[in-house]
Amino acid sequence: MKPDWDSLGAKFKDSPKVVIADVDCTAAGKSLCDKSGVRGYPTIKYYNPPDEEGEDYKGGRDLPALIKFVETELGPGCSVDAKENCSAEQLEKLDEYIKMDATERSTKLESMKTAMAEAEEAHNELLKKLQATFKESQDALEKLKEDSAPTIKLLKAATPSGKAAPAKDEM
């Protein structure tokens, strides 16, 4: 993917609307990656102004798919300063939010961010519990296999080689 990503960056390097960048999440960019919710690599995030949270890119990772996405989806998004970029549905919601006073809008935004953070934390806690349960089950299975192996080997060895094993009933 790296060669296609680099080619994409080269194609749009002079674009006034699009910036293609890489961030090393294991080094200096770690705090940015943590803030952006990057959990695996490679992760592609995109931001359309005025979006500061970013969205996960879910499309194809070959050069033609990346180019098509940049050309059709990236650029300034719907905002109070760019209403021409809004769909009818977005305009309706945007107008509703514009009519709110700043405190109400800020409170709603913070409430939604808090709810998302709490849901993410609960999800991560559940994931930890599931991983612990899986590990316990895996360890128990491995122990059973290890403990049973000598007996299974001897049971198989107890059948004389000239005698066939009992026939299996099949349905």
- What does the pLDDT read at residue 171? 62
Percent of the chain with pLDDT over 90: 44
- The answer, yes or no, to whether residue 52 has pLDDT greater than 80, is no
* SS3 category, 150: helix
- 92 pLDDT band (50/70/90 cuts)? very high
Query: Can you give the residue ranges of every domain in the chain?
Result: 2-76
Indicate the burial class of 66 (C-beta count within 10 angstroms; 0-12, 13-18, 19 or more). buried
Average predicted confidence (pLDDT) for the chain:
87
**pLDDT tens-digit map of 71-83:** 878 877 788 888 8
CB neighbourhood size of 78 (10 A): 20
pTM over 0.85: no
- What residues are paired with 56 via a beta bridge? 45
- 168 pLDDT band (50/70/90 cuts)? low
2-76 is classed CATH 3.30.1050.10: no
Beta carbons of 76 and 46 less than 8 angstroms apart: no
Q: How many CA atoms lie within 13 A of 137 on its CB side?
A: 6
- 120 pLDDT band (50/70/90 cuts)? very high
Contact residues for 34 (Cβ-Cβ < 8 A; gap 6+): none
Alpha helices in 2-101 (DSSP H): 2-11, 30-36, 63-73, 88-99
Q: In sequence order, what DSSP letters do the residues of 22-38 get, joined into one string?
A: ---TTTTTHHHHHHHT-
Contact residues for 165 (Cβ-Cβ < 8 A; gap 6+): 159
Percent of the chain with pLDDT over 70: 94
